Amino acid sequence: MTYEFYNNEEWTAFSTKMQAISRDVQRLQWKQSSLLSKITNLEVAQDLVMRKKWDLETVSKKTTKVLTEVTGDCDECWFGKYDMAEDEIKELRVSKCLEVASIQSEINLLKHDRQVLDKEQDACRDRLIKEHNDATKDQGLATASVN
């Protein structure tokens, strides 16, 4: 007769905790993926701003006049604005990268906790089986001595 240790409350408690950790890891990985997508989107925006900025590096006097009349700012002002926008986007990308790294640290800690629980669950299983075998052996000895 095989002992069904997996029905023991103590052993299943470990499984419950490990499943919760796995759900937390998955949730964090989804958040991480979302941030990575945002980083990619921001890179596209940064590239566009950079191209627009360099379009204004050398412009005609006519373009400068039109820009000044229509927007109130000259080409150099717009070059500066695009340059600052590019820097802001870069800072946002770096910030998102730091969030990704922070989430990865959380994931690593959770995975470590899960490994520890897994080893503890294995030890619990081994102990439960041994206790069952010892009790079965002792019961067999007691039955044999009565006969």
Helix or strand holding residue 92 (H, E)? helix 75-146
Provide the pLDDT for residue 126: 94
Place of tokens 């989430």: 103
Q: Which of 93, 80, 31 is nearest to 53 (CA)?
A: 80
Q: CA 145 to CA 13: how far, in whole Å?
A: 38
Provide the pLDDT for residue 136: 86
pTM value is 0.78
Residue 147: pLDDT above 70? no
Q: Is 121 exposed, middle or buried (0-12, 13-18, 19+ CB in 10 A)?
A: buried
Q: Which of 45, 28, 31 is nearest to 110 (CA)?
A: 28
Provide the pLDDT for residue 125: 94
**Mean pLDDT of the region 109-136:** 95
Provide the pLDDT for residue 58: 86
Average pLDDT, the chain: 92
**Mean pLDDT of the region 71-76:** 89
Provide the pLDDT for residue 142: 59
